[in-house]
Each structure stands twice: as C-alpha cells, then as structure tokens.
Amino acid sequence: MDRRISTFELVTVSVETYAKIWLKGNLVYHTQQAARQKMEMALAEIDRNIVIMDVSQLLFIDSTGLALLIHFFKKAVCQNKQIALVVSTNKTVERILAIAKFDKLFPIVEREEDLARLLASLTKEIASQEMLLKIWQNHCIQN
C-alpha cells in the first residue's frame, strides 16, 4: 500500500498590478509531475506581466522543486513576464532559496505588501526581469 504523504497545491489570484500564485505543500521530486502541470496551466491563464509566487506555505522544497521554479521562470520570461518570490516567515524555504542563489534571479520578498506598494508607486512599466530585480534591490538598499 502506498503511504505517500507529500502533496502539492496551487492557487492563482489576480489583483490590479500583478497576479499571485500560491504554492502550497511539497514542491519536491515526487510531486513534480503534478506541480509542473499546475504551474504551466496557471502561467497560461495569467494575463498580468508581474507574477508573484508566494512560497511561504510550502512545507518543503528540494532540488527538483528549485529546478521547477527555474523552469517556470524561463517560460515566464519568454512571455515577457517578471517574477518575484514571497517567503513571508518561512525561514526554511528562504534559506534554501538563498543557498541556491535565487536572489540573483528573483526579488525575494518577505512581505508582499512591500512589493505591492513599490509596484503601485512606479511611473513606468517594468520591461524585464533584470529591471524588476534592480528596482527591488535599490528599494532594499534605500530602506
């Protein structure tokens, strides 16, 4: 009998300036198939340029999960979308992202409100992932 306990869920919400994808459960080797499918479906439905992936409710992420985030990132960037990650108080996921150097690709944000406020205050459109990352890094330096 299979007693697998790892599950993965995804919820998408759109607000005025961005779309948000909540990743919940385990983004790991044995949930990768379902996760990949759900993430690709979510990306296809999103009509905003900025996508915030909220990873704060992930119970666990492994190297396969990190690779899936990269896969999603590449697909999104090809569609001229920009991605940020929200970690909230999930220190374990935040640490794994930091060890994997994901802060060199994504703004890694503790509070979604901070990013939302920053996006709302911008006068020009964010044209690329590099631009979003740079704006976020400058914001962090100033605050």
Partner 1 sequence: MYEITMQCKATEEAIDFCDLLAKQIARFFSLHDRDMFVLSVHEAVVNSIKAVKQLGRKIDDGALVVSWRITEEEVTVTVTDEGGGIPIKEIERLGQESLEDVLLAESGRGLLLIKETMDVVSFVPHEGGKCAIVMKMRRGQNGSSDIHF
Residues of the shown chain interacting with partner 1 in the complex, contacts defined by CB under 8 A: 2-6, 28-30, 60, 62-64, 66-67, 70-71, 74, 92, 95-96, 99-102, 104-105
Could you tell me the end-to-end alpha-carbon distance of the chain, in angstroms, rounded to an integer? 53
Q: What is the nearest approach in angstroms of partner 1 to the Cβ of residue 70?
A: 6
Looking at beta carbons only, is 117 or 134 nearer to partner 1?
A: 134
Distance CA 124, CA 93 (A): 32
Q: What is the nearest approach in angstroms of partner 1 to the Cβ of residue 73?
A: 8
Looking at beta carbons only, is 7 or 80 nearer to partner 1?
A: 7
Looking at beta carbons only, is 66 or 135 nearer to partner 1?
A: 66
Are 136 and 118 in contact by the 8 Å Cβ rule? The answer is yes
CA distances from 30 to 4, 20, 35, 109 (A): 9, 24, 9, 27
